[in-house]
Structure 1
Amino acid sequence: MWNMVNQQISSALHSDFEFTDKKQLASHNKEKLYKICDDKHAYLVKVDRLTALERFEAQAHSLDLLTRDSDFMIGDTITIGSSLDFSFMVLEWLDTQQSTPNWHDCGTLLAKMHQRHEQEMFGLEHDNYIQQLLQPNQWHKKWETFFAEDRIGWQLQLLAEKGIMLVNIDEFVTLIKTLLPHHVQPSLLHGHFWSGNIAFNQDKPCLFNPACYYGDSEVDIAMAELYTPLPEAFYSGYNTVKPAKQERTLKKAIYQLYPLLLSANLFAGDYLYQAKQRIQEILK
């Protein structure tokens, strides 16, 4: 496989490349991350099963969207390919060591991206993935329909197929449609926005692992607040450009149910309990 990686990088660069150093960085489920380099170039290589090829291609498209429509630092996709047993994705290496986190600018850049309203529909022209889970993105004219069906309903159905029925799916999806706002402008979303997918190159904010689509900008914020809270400087920067709306407690609860259901499908355990508790909160 690594010969194939060298060959495809060489083809993309239009010059010979052969790495002289390879270091494994981490593993996430079946996906392994490597840093490879020669004396001139360094790259991040994601390696997974052959079936991950479509996921890598979808992620590359999301990275292209962020590059086009935001001022975040985004690593270029160098090449995507496969061998007999594995698929791989080669990305520009962004050095995030010895960096100074500039959370204010991170918030400002996200708000500016969210302020762009160049799409009239909700969804995306193709499906993508969060980790190994498919994220359907059928185009919808109504935000409440898209989020209720393609986000909440989809995840509940995946759990039901495993024999885990948290709620009557049809009734709950109908309820979500009535509870969500009906007048939302589509914004480009990162789609998996939390501290683990944010880093800094010197003081420049970088984003990783997107699963983009067009939706309510508050989805990105709600997801970030569910996990490790972002520093106050992030919200200060965001609010200078796009002041956060007030009285969004129920909406935030609904938006945070989606990543809880994602985690329940991926990892089960305590996430199932948290998802069930969140559903009960919404039903009250």
Structure 2
Amino acid sequence: MWQSITKQISECMDTPFTIEKRQLLLHNEDSNYYRITDQTRDISFVIRITPKSLSTKFDIVTRNQALMADWLTSPKIILYGSTSDQCFVVFQPFEVKDAQPTSDEWYDLGKRFAGMHKNCQQGMYGWEEDTYIFQQIQPNRWQKNWASFFSEQRIGWQLQLHEEKGKHLINISDMTSVIHRLLHHHHPEPCMLHGQLLPDNILTTDDGLFLPDNACYCGDRELDLAWLAAFSPDQTDFMRGYQEVWPLPHGHDVRQVIYTLYPLLVQLHNDPVVETRVQHQIALILAI
């Protein structure tokens, strides 16, 4: 694999390139990010490698990353290639820090997300194609009603996936009806969502925080924020930056209780321990 990648990079650069050092920067469920270095020529790149069996998701994530580049840190891609069993993208060199994001970096990311959310010209909820959340299909059929979209294509869909795996969490029809009722009078402006704002999906770079994976669609901006609320112990600096650019509307705290169920249901596929939190979140929603 590495020999083929080296050959394709050399052809793209029109100059020899040899991988003499390889450093793993980030590992997630389906991809690895490496820094590859030719120490003799003092040249390095960052490369994302994904199994070819996941090439559809790989293509979607790569395309959507480019769509968000006006607002979020997104290193420029210089080569898109494949080997016999892997697909990969090579990015222009960027410096990755071996450190946790600082308060200022979280603050900047909050401002960037708010800017992206404010600049969407779509009038409906959904996306031009289904996307992937981790390795699961995320349906994005266009709908005009947000309560219907979220209750059916987010919560109902996830509950059905768990049912098919033999995990009964709650009656699907009952839960989707409750959520539809709670969101019935909420008509948010459709915003372009990143879809995977997770602390584990962040690389700290000199140009800002880079979120390699995504699951884009147009929806309520508060759902992007629910991902961070679900899995980050402190969102203070991020929210300070976000609120400066685009303050959240009345009722956000209550809706966050509803929206947090979605990232928890997604995470439950990979971590059975999350089921306790899922059941607690369901109870909170039913108590609203």
Report TM bin, short chain.
0.7 to 0.9
Aligned to 1:282: 285
CA distance in 1, matches of 2:273, 2:166: 17
Aligned to 1:142: 145
CA distance in 1, matches of 2:260, 2:282: 10
The alignment partner of 1:123 has SS state of coil
Query: Counterpart of 1:43 in structure 2: which amino acid?
Result: F
CA distance in 1, matches of 2:24, 2:98: 20
CA displacement, residues 23-44 of structure 1 (integer Å, 9 cap, x when unaligned): 3345434543322122354333
Of all paired residues, the percent bearing the same amino acid is 33
Q: Return the match for 1:56 from 52, 55, 58.
A: 58
Q: Return the match for 2:269 from 260, 265, 278.
A: 265
TM-score of the pair, normalised by structure 1: 0.88
Q: Cα distance 1:171–1:47, how it changes in 2: closer, same or farther (>3 A)?
A: same
CA distance in 1, matches of 2:73, 2:129: 24
Aligned to 2:5: 5
CA distance in 1, matches of 2:82, 2:140: 25
CA distance in 1, matches of 2:52, 2:120: 36
Aligned to 1:249: 253
Aligned to 1:154: 157
Shift of 1:120: 1.1
Aligned to 2:107: 104
Indicate the RMSD between aligned Cα atoms, in angstroms. 2.4
The alignment partner of 1:266 has SS state of coil
The alignment partner of 1:47 has SS state of strand
Q: Cα distance 1:81–1:170, how it changes in 2: closer, same or farther (>3 A)?
A: farther
Shift of 1:203: 6.3
CA distance in 2, matches of 1:44, 1:119: 33
Q: Do the aligned partners of 1:25 and 1:33 also contact (CA within 8 Å) in 2?
A: yes
Instruction: For 1:36-185, list aligned pairs within 5 A.
Output: 36-38=36-38, 39=41, 41-68=43-70, 70=71, 72-97=72-97, 101=102, 102=104, 103-180=106-183, 181-185=185-189
CA distance in 2, matches of 1:27, 1:238: 28
CA distance in 2, matches of 1:120, 1:11: 44
Query: Counterpart of 1:62 in structure 2: which amino acid?
Result: N
Q: Does 1:19 align with 2:22?
A: no
Q: Does 1:188 align with 2:188?
A: no
Q: Does 1:197 align with 2:216?
A: no
Shift of 1:48: 3.5
Shift of 1:171: 2.5
Shift of 1:246: 3.5
Query: Counterpart of 2:6 in structure 1: which amino acid?
Result: N
CA distance in 2, matches of 1:166, 1:281: 14
Q: Cα distance 1:98–1:283, how it changes in 2: closer, same or farther (>3 A)?
A: closer
TM-score of the pair, normalised by structure 2: 0.87
Aligned to 1:222: 226
Shift of 1:163: 0.6
Shift of 1:12: 4.5
Shift of 1:129: 1.7
Q: Do the aligned partners of 2:48 and 2:90 also contact (CA within 8 Å) in 1?
A: yes
Q: Do the aligned partners of 2:117 and 2:221 also contact (CA within 8 Å) in 1?
A: yes
Deviating more after overlay: 214-223 vs 93-102:
93-102
Q: Do the aligned partners of 1:57 and 1:80 also contact (CA within 8 Å) in 2?
A: no
Aligned length: 281
Query: Counterpart of 1:49 in structure 2: which amino acid?
Result: P
Deviating more after overlay: 253-262 vs 23-32:
23-32
Q: Do the aligned partners of 1:24 and 1:33 also contact (CA within 8 Å) in 2?
A: yes
Instruction: For 1:223-238, list aligned pairs within 5 A.
Output: 223-238=227-242
Q: Do the aligned partners of 2:30 and 2:134 also contact (CA within 8 Å) in 1?
A: no
Query: Counterpart of 1:257 in structure 2: which amino acid?
Result: L
Query: Counterpart of 1:280 in structure 2: which amino acid?
Result: A
Consecutive unaligned residues of structure 2, counting only runs of 5 or more, are: none
Shift of 1:174: 2.4
